[in-house]
Structure 1
Amino acid sequence: MKFAYTYSDPLLEETPEPALDWEVDRIYQDLGQRSELEQLFKDCQVNPPDRIFIRRLEELGDSVEQITSHLAQFETMGITLIAVEQNYNSAIKATNTHANLLKLLNEIQQQKRSRRIRQGYARNRLDAAPPPGKAPYGYRRGKAKYTIDRSTSPVIKEFFDNFLLYGSLRGAVRHLAKKYSKKISATTGRRWLSNPVYRGDTAYRNGEIIRDTHNAIISREEAAQIDRILRRNNRLPSRTASASRSLAGLVVCSQCRSHMSVTRVTLHRQKKEYLYLRPINCSQNPKCRAISYQQVLQNTIETVCHDLPQAVEKMNFTQLDEVKNNLTEAIIRQQKILEQIPALVETGILDAETGKIRAYKLRIEISTLQAQLAILPPVNLRSVAQAVSIPQFWLDLSETERRFYFREFIRQIEIIRQDKSWNLRIIFIF
């Protein structure tokens, strides 16, 4: 007869599968407490098995003393204990096996110390407390949550506002250096833009995020817009996201499939400049000719005004609304379950720790659903398309402002060459 025993800490790991790789007559499985281990000892005294399988020796107790005591009990009863993941077999009496046991117990002692630290961090997560380490720039560490630092948070807010206005990471970095003498790298700026802390959320090293744990520096609407801009800029060639010209990074030559850069040409002793779009890596012979930037810009505006409303009308808003409704309903269901947790703990149906674990997992699930909802297109896309389909709207904008709106709707602009003439085709994001 063979038994198996498993133990898992719900704070640190998922519950293992009840079925093991080997055939056993009964499985004793503990989660958090060791009541099944006590039952295992009672059953062994009545009808001892030949072998007991465990994954690791540390599952037999919370300390080295408990583990060695339980090992001695199994040995006294004449039961062979096999720790599969540690290659330990108590039936082997060789000297090197005892030496191996001493080595394992020493490792277990170190692991238990590390485990207690991780358990402390896990309990802090259940209370939505900040993770260990220095608070992000713009915040201070409070007793149970982050608090806004009044001296540095305006710098963070200015950085986000500039990025939202112009959609340029490097431009926002330069703006901070110029206005506040705060010098950061573009990599740091990108981390700020994607850091959940500035949105009022707490993120942990395991990748889990809990929403609304402290006061936010940016709103949910601003956060969703930042995410859209970052996804949009990721599609552009390197360093074109912060380029001054509105068509930079968007135009591709359909003949040589090369992206086209903006080239500036000036005449000797004249202030006037001429802008051209020229292929960066043209494989044709002869090379594809440069095209007037202003002509492409004018044709782009005309095409957007004509084609954008039609492209928006082709979108399946019914399906989009269905997705949003399903996500919203799922969030509401999870929130209702979350509201019932305190009553279940109070009536004794759930103990306090189990209630915290369940509430924590529900908050993670809600955060995931809300993140999926935030990345969907805005509901007012039709009205926005109508507003930007007026030519005068584009003509009144600066190049920087046009760059922002072009990239909000356009994925790519293809220049289609025909002998000495050309026309363009716009590929919209949606």
Structure 2
Amino acid sequence: MKIYAYSYTDPLLDESPPKHIWGWEVDHVYEDLGKRRTQLQKLLEDCHIQPPEYLLIRQLQELGDSVAEINSRVTELKGLGVKIVAVEENHSFSDSHIQLIELLQELQYQQRSRRIRQGHARNRLNIAPPPGKAPYGYKKGKSKYILDKTTAPVVKDFFENFLLYASLRGAVRYLAKKYNKKISVTTGKRWLINPVYRGDTAYKNHQIILDTHTAIISREEGAQVDRILRRNSSLPKRTASAPRSLAGLVVCGECKSSMKVGLVTRRDRVQEYLYLRPIDCPKTPKCRAISYDAVLEKTIEVVCRELPLAVAGTNFPQLDAVKNQLSEKILHQQEIIQQIPNLFESGILDQETAKIRIYQLNTEISTLTAKLNSLPPANLSSIAQAVSIPQFWFDLSESERRFYLREFIQNIQLIRQKDTWELDIVFIF
């Protein structure tokens, strides 16, 4: 029994199938890549000479670029006694022609959908914006996004507020108050992670092309936004925007419960009393509350003493090696891109293949750049020295202290010792 297999791969949309996809013992595999279907013609010629019993394909639409072509080739193969099996569609066209007629409408829809996706793929190769409305702050130009001078300052102000106070809800409230621009917290989160505001274009397949249009925030600001979001995601719910700098950071070492900032006021006094108490203490009697101001002063003391030591213990040579390795890979990919026009002019690559290769290299550069930006800043040692001065912390507002503390601290363990207590600070590096 002779079995042939045929696959067609559109480099704009598909990847070549692996060898083991057929699940049969195949005598010969015919594979076409791109517009020319030379292997399909070779298959038809071989079938006229010595027809196989079965022809395996992934999908019926691989046999042509139109319904008419597909119908013609199916009819030709069936006339030679070849049984066609579409392995991904669970179809076999060996019994009757009626089965093919019933699939024509579905096939027409698939072909139309495929042509639309091919059009979108060609737009990606030309680095054109994806279909749909431009993100807030931009307008669609002929080939790229352009800044909307009316709304771009609103987005810029939103990012600056978030970078200053590290509070998503606070930035959302700020927009509503200053610009009467009301957005949900979910929309605000989408703004923060949207590559378009960093000058990049993102497509539905999650691939990103860098530096396609004017950015609203810089690369450094974008990397800082990502660090803040990662840090805030590990904090208890709603503490990211809490007004107190220690909110969400302190954990009771006795009962392992996170500690909440509480406030006590007296009707006849203006003075407020802040304290920290466990949110869900299982012990009886429950772990007692601690003065917030006392814990804050002790936190600043420990940070000033231990942060420079923690940074000094970080393996910066290894970190530098990782950064250099990523930078070298990015540079190598950029050099390859510069060589592709010469390959096109010399006829080694056709225009479409050259565009596809450039697009692939640009998405690889985007991935490598994202990894590079996620690493700690290079000037971490100098930053640690600057913030190891107690007066620096006391000159900050609570929201500013909250930003800096979360930049360095993962959590603060409050260790109780009879009538006293100590702090064990876990840094993020």
- Report the TM-score, using the length of structure 1 for normalisation: 0.97
Aligned to 1:63, which of 66, 69, 74?
A: 66
* 1:410 paired residue number: 409
Change (3 A) 1:263 1:344: same
Question: Counterpart of 2:239 in 1: which secondary structure?
Answer: coil
| TM-aligned CA deviation for residue 140 of structure 1 | 0.2
Quick one: distance in 1 between partners of 2:42 and 2:329?
40
* 1:315 paired residue number: 314
Of 10-19 and 244-253, more deviation after overlay is shown by 10-19
Quick one: distance in 2 between partners of 1:340 and 1:118?
29
| TM-aligned CA deviation for residue 340 of structure 1 | 1.1
* 2:323 paired residue number: 324
| TM-aligned CA deviation for residue 4 of structure 1 | 1.1
Conserved? CA contact 2:202–2:209, under 8 Å = yes
Matched, 1:98 2:97: yes
* 1:41 paired residue number: 44
Question: Counterpart of 1:276 in 2: which secondary structure?
Answer: strand
Question: Counterpart of 1:184 in 2: which secondary structure?
Answer: coil
Question: Counterpart of 2:15 in 1: which secondary structure?
Answer: coil
Q: Deviations over 1:153-181 (max 9, x none)?
A: 00000000111111111111111111111
Quick one: distance in 2 between partners of 1:259 and 1:86?
53
Question: Counterpart of 1:241 in 2: which secondary structure?
Answer: helix
Q: Provide the aligned C-alpha RMSD in A.
A: 1.1
Conserved? CA contact 1:130–1:202, under 8 Å = yes
Alignment of 1:15-164 (within 5 A): 15-19=16-20, 20-32=22-34, 33-92=36-95, 97-164=96-163
Quick one: distance in 1 between partners of 2:212 and 2:391?
45
Quick one: distance in 1 between partners of 2:200 and 2:357?
19
Q: Gapped runs of 5+ residues in structure 1?
A: none
Q: Which amino acid aligns with 1:77?
A: L
Conserved? CA contact 2:202–2:208, under 8 Å = yes
Alignment of 1:333-352 (within 5 A): 333-352=332-351
| TM-aligned CA deviation for residue 235 of structure 1 | 1.0
Question: Counterpart of 2:423 in 1: which secondary structure?
Answer: strand
| TM-aligned CA deviation for residue 76 of structure 1 | 2.6
* 2:260 paired residue number: 261
| TM-aligned CA deviation for residue 50 of structure 1 | 2.7
Quick one: distance in 1 between partners of 2:296 and 2:132?
49
* 1:362 paired residue number: 361
* 1:2 paired residue number: 3
Quick one: distance in 2 between partners of 1:363 and 1:55?
30
Quick one: distance in 2 between partners of 1:384 and 1:259?
28
Quick one: distance in 2 between partners of 1:161 and 1:395?
23
Of 214-223 and 390-399, more deviation after overlay is shown by 390-399
Of 179-188 and 150-159, more deviation after overlay is shown by 179-188
Conserved? CA contact 2:137–2:155, under 8 Å = yes
Conserved? CA contact 2:93–2:99, under 8 Å = no
Matched, 1:212 2:188: no
| TM-aligned CA deviation for residue 286 of structure 1 | 0.3
Quick one: distance in 1 between partners of 2:174 and 2:63?
59
Conserved? CA contact 2:93–2:100, under 8 Å = no
Of 315-324 and 70-79, more deviation after overlay is shown by 70-79
The count of corresponding residues between Structure 1 and Structure 2 is 426
Conserved? CA contact 2:53–2:82, under 8 Å = yes
Q: Which amino acid aligns with 1:25?
A: D
Q: Which amino acid aligns with 2:270?
A: K
Question: Counterpart of 2:276 in 1: which secondary structure?
Answer: strand
Q: Which amino acid aligns with 2:364?
A: E
| TM-aligned CA deviation for residue 284 of structure 1 | 0.8
| TM-aligned CA deviation for residue 89 of structure 1 | 3.1
Q: Which amino acid aligns with 1:67?
A: I
Q: Which amino acid aligns with 1:24?
A: V
Q: Deviations over 1:202-238 (max 9, x none)?
A: 1111111111111100000110111111111111111
Q: Which amino acid aligns with 1:86?
A: E
Conserved? CA contact 1:18–1:29, under 8 Å = no
- Report the TM-score, using the length of structure 2 for normalisation: 0.97
Quick one: distance in 2 between partners of 1:421 and 1:39?
86
* 1:281 paired residue number: 280
Q: Deviations over 1:48-92 (max 9, x none)?
A: 323222122111101110011111211232322222233333432
What percentage of residue pairs aligned between the two structures are identical?
63
Of 363-372 and 343-352, more deviation after overlay is shown by 343-352
Of 9-18 and 198-207, more deviation after overlay is shown by 9-18
Quick one: distance in 2 between partners of 1:140 and 1:91?
54
Alignment of 1:293-312 (within 5 A): 293-312=292-311
* 2:14 paired residue number: 13
Quick one: distance in 1 between partners of 2:416 and 2:376?
33
Question: Counterpart of 2:88 in 1: which secondary structure?
Answer: helix
